[in-house]
């Protein structure tokens, strides 16, 4: 039981339920990132086509466009822990199938895309429950720290996963990365089984009444608030035009620098290091003093400029430095927007708020992967990134101007 009403990040990690969830999530995400490094490299090796890399990213994230809102309703009306366990178990089976096919030499690009779609489907239905279960593990005043710490472990895994994957692929092959991801699900399942978030039974009794499964009016009411709407648009635009930096990093390494997979692992580790710095910065008072929604948009503009700089760059060393900046900016943008939404939402609608955020995030990544893949296939990766970064800067500047036009205190979302 957490006693303090406003704990430091260090003391928050000492609490039983949250620390158990944090560590198991870190291990699981390390396995996920190992596969995320291996998978686009395998796709590129099998197809020799940037379009297939983009299509695989689209298949992974596209289900969120259709099912993320349903996931938000499930998170608010049913046992969030059971939702996560069920859909994560399906993901685990998908990874096991890929491991078996890799060992047998039967894995094809189209099979990878289909499995990516299934993983994306289960993610879209379980991610709102995952996002909304985190505030249930801590006191309300600790929610910003809990959200930031969760982003910290995600970005720490983004460093460790690619570093380990780069070594493993060179020495043992991609199949070990996929196998490590499968094994990493086990501690997460065990930890989640012993977690009983506060307020869970209350949520179920209040929300499981005779209502339609998906009431769009509930979402329209949330989107009516300008602060919420613009925060979500910021996340969408940022991940639509700048998110492909992660997806197409393998193409940059292979086609621009003619480097190998260990350099790809190093590039992704640099991006993860930046993300870790961006997440850690959220704990400093200076970061907290900014209005979170406006800060998210301002940092996103900086990310758009970095995207253009990466497109124009021809130094591998400078690429790593720019990816550190990009990782920090992308993480700071997403954390600021997510924390703004989570802080101002009541527990009863937190799942739907989380689903809107995840819809903007994954919808942007999904469409961005497909559109950028098409642009790369018609032009080249450098031109595609220049177009993406330029569009991001223009749209985000307009959003920031819009944010300064409205005023008013942040209110609780009900």
Report pLDDT digits (tens) over 403-414.
777 655 444 444
Q: Confidence band (pLDDT; 50, 70, 90) for 202?
A: very low
Q: Is residue 262 part of a domain?
A: yes
pLDDT, average across residues 112-132: 86
**Distance of alpha carbon 59 from alpha carbon 78, whole angstroms:** 27
Least confident of 32-41, 157-166, 305-314: 157-166
- Better-predicted residue by pLDDT, 79 or 298: 298
Q: How far apart are the C-alpha atoms of 314 and 342, rounded to whole Å?
A: 40
Collapsing DSSP to helix, strand or coil, 108 comes out as coil
The secondary structure of 294-340 as a DSSP string is: HHHHHHHHHHHHHHHHHHH---HHHHHHHHHHHHHHHHHHHHHHHHH
SS3 4: coil
The residue that leads in pLDDT, 187 or 69, is 187
User: For residues 294 and 314, what is the distance between their CA atoms, to the nearest angstrom?
Assistant: 33
pLDDT for 123 beyond 70: yes
392, part of any domain: yes
User: Token digits for 73?
Assistant: 């309703």
Please state the domain count of the chain: 1
38 within some domain: yes
What CA–CA distance (Å, rounded) separates 125 from 148?
Answer: 23
Predicted TM-score of the model (pTM): 0.70
Mean pLDDT of 380-406: 89
- Judge whether 340 lies within some domain: yes
Question: Is the pLDDT at 244 greater than 70, yes or no?
Answer: yes
Q: What is the pLDDT of residue 85?
A: 87
Q: Is the pLDDT of residue 397 over 60?
A: yes
**Mean pLDDT computed over 120-135:** 81
Do residues 109 and 52 touch, judged by C-beta distance below 8 A?
yes
Q: What average pLDDT score do residues 294-305 get?
A: 89
How far apart CA 397 and CA 241 sit, in angstroms, is 14
Range of the domain at 253: 14-405
Confidence of residue 273 (pLDDT cuts 50, 70, 90): confident
Residue 117 in domain: yes
Question: By three-state DSSP, how is residue 345 classified?
Answer: strand
- Of 303, 316, 215, 221, whose CA–CA distance to 260 is shortest? 316
List pLDDT tens digits, range 156-194.
777 778 778 777 877 788 889 999 999 999 988 888 777
Q: Say if 5 falls within a structural domain.
A: no
Task: Please indicate, yes or no, if residue 294 is contained in any of the structural domains.
Answer: yes
d(CA 354, CA 342) in angstroms, rounded, equals 8
Highest mean pLDDT among 156-165, 345-354, 361-370 belongs to 361-370
- 16-25, 175-184, 276-285: which is most confident: 175-184
CATH number of 282's domain: 1.20.1250.20
**What is the rounded CA–CA span in Å between residue 113 and residue 121?**
12
- Check if the beta carbon of residue 98 is closer than 8 Å to that of residue 59: no
Helices (H), 172-291: 174-193, 200-207, 216-223, 226-241, 244-247, 249-251, 261-281, 285-289
* The length of the chain, given as a count of residues: 414
Strand partners, 345: 413
Region of 27 (left: φ > 0; alpha: ψ -120 to 50; beta: rest) is: alpha
**Burial class of residue 323 in the structure, from the number of CB atoms within 10 Å of its CB (0-12 exposed, 13-18 middle, 19+ buried):** buried
Instruction: Please indicate, yes or no, if residue 3 is contained in any of the structural domains.
Output: no
pLDDT at residue 257 tops 70: yes
CA distances in angstroms from 197 to 9, 23, 203, listed in the order given? 19, 17, 11
């Amino acid at each position: 039981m957490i006693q303090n009403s406003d704990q430091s990040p260090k003391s928050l990690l000492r609490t039983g339920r949250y620390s158990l969830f944090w560590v198991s999530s870190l291990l699981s995400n390390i396995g996920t990132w190992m596969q995320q490094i291996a998978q686009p490299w395998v796709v590129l090796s099998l197809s020799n086509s940037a379009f297939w890399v983009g299509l695989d990213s689209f298949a992974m994230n596209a289900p969120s466009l259709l099912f993320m809102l349903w996931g938000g309703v499930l998170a608010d009306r049913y046992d969030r822990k059971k939702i996560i366990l069920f859909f994560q178990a399906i993901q685990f089976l998908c990874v096991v199938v890929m491991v078996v096919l890799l060992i047998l030499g039967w894995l094809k690009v189209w099979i990878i895309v289909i499995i990516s779609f299934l993983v994306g489907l289960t993610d879209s239905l379980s991610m709102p429950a995952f996002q909304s279960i985190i505030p249930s593990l801590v006191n309300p005043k600790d929610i910003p720290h809990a959200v930031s710490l969760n982003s910290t472990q995600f970005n720490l895994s983004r460093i460790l996963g690619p570093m380990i994957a780069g070594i493993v692929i060179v020495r043992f092959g991609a199949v070990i990365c996929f196998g490590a991801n499968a094994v990493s699900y086990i501690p997460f399942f065990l930890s989640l089984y012993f977690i009983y978030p506060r307020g869970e039974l209350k949520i179920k009794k209040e929300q499981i009444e005779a209502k339609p499964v998906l009431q769009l009016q509930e979402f329209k009411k949330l989107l009516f608030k300008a602060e919420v709407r613009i925060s979500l648009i910021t996340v969408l635009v940022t991940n639509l035009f700048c998110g492909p930096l992660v997806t197409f990093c393998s193409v940059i390494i292979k086609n621009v620098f003619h480097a190998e997979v260990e350099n790809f692992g190093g590039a992704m580790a640099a991006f993860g290091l930046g993300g870790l710095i961006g997440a850690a910065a959220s704990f400093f008072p200076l970061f907290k003093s900014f209005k979170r929604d406006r800060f998210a948009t301002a940092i996103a503009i900086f990310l758009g400029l970095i995207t253009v700089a990466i497109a124009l760059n021809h130094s591998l060393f400078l690429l790593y430095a720019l990816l550190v900046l990009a990782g920090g900016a992308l993480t700071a943008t997403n954390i600021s927007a997510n924390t703004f939404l989570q802080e101002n939402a009541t527990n009863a609608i937190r799942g739907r708020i989380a689903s809107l955020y995840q819809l903007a995030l994954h919808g942007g990544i999904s469409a961005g992967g497909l559109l950028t893949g098409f642009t790369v296939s018609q032009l080249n990766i450098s031109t595609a990134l220049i177009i993406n970064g330029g569009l991001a800067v223009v749209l985000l500047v307009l959003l920031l101007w819009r944010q300064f036009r409205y005023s008013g205190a942040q209110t609780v979302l009900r």
